Structure 1
Amino acid sequence: MTPDQAESIYRQGLIAAQAGRWADAQELIAQAITARPGVPVWWATYGLVLESRSDLPGAAQAFAGALNLDGDLAMAMDGLLAVAETLAAAGHADLAEGIYCRALALTPGTPAAFVKASALLLVQGLDPSKLLRRAALLQPERHA
């Protein structure tokens, strides 16, 4: 498959997603990624499709894949943190904690990941103060 064909298939996947045809979107975007695995936005879009299909572990993997390629891709970080929040709210604190740890490992300068991980620790009855201090150090102008 040529790069142009992969781009076309990805766009078909986007159209399928916009129409709510999640299975088609998943298949098409996966084909595009297989042909051109180095496009971070495609991975993040794939994560959104998987999240829409309630495949939260798969979505987390796709968002993390996007962040591996581009650690500044806000769409991917937002998606990864949303998946973790959904899992935490559903009582899967262990899975959520793993995702927060992965988010912090992929992009250690992300205050939102520290804050959300701190909230999870608080719910678990643990002291989140170390993580919150770390988040404040990352953006001192907001806490002056």
Structure 2
Amino acid sequence: MRLKLHDLSGGIPAIAVSIVQATLRFLSYFPAEKQSLTTRALDFVFLKQYNFLAAPINALIEGQYHKFEDLKPMLLLEKVTPKSDDSSEKLKDVERQAKELVEVATRENSKLMTGRVQLMPSQPPRSAHEVSADKQSEAMSPENLLNLASRKEDK
């Protein structure tokens, strides 16, 4: 269980806790006898709710984190020495790439929604099987999570 959680979260405690909390919420919809925290349940919730993190986490594990767009500007940092003949050419190329990145970022940011957000008031459970897992989920710390995972492994 612990290794599976590490694989899914890339060893990042906040992501691991979030995955377990989401899985516990998901399991709360099942009868009590089927509410077992298993690697299969973690996989299912990860694929449904955290799949967008799979590529960045795999890149982090494989040491190829530099391939993600938030680090692209760092790739433009090149040493341009004024004494070399091709430095002005390099500088122009870097400036052109930087302008392209700014244009892409501007286009992407224009797709973001802006404005006010109103939260819906919390509602009581609709059925006897639906329970609120917020209290238990919020009480889980990374230490409690690891203790829970190690107890499940011992069984």
Normalised-by-shorter TM-score class: under 0.3
TM-score normalised to the size of structure 2? Answer: 0.23
TM-score normalised to the size of structure 1? Answer: 0.24
Q: Which has the larger radius of gyration?
A: 2
Name the structure where helix makes up a greater proportion of residues: 1
Which structure has more relative contact order (CA 8 Å, sep 6+)? It is 2
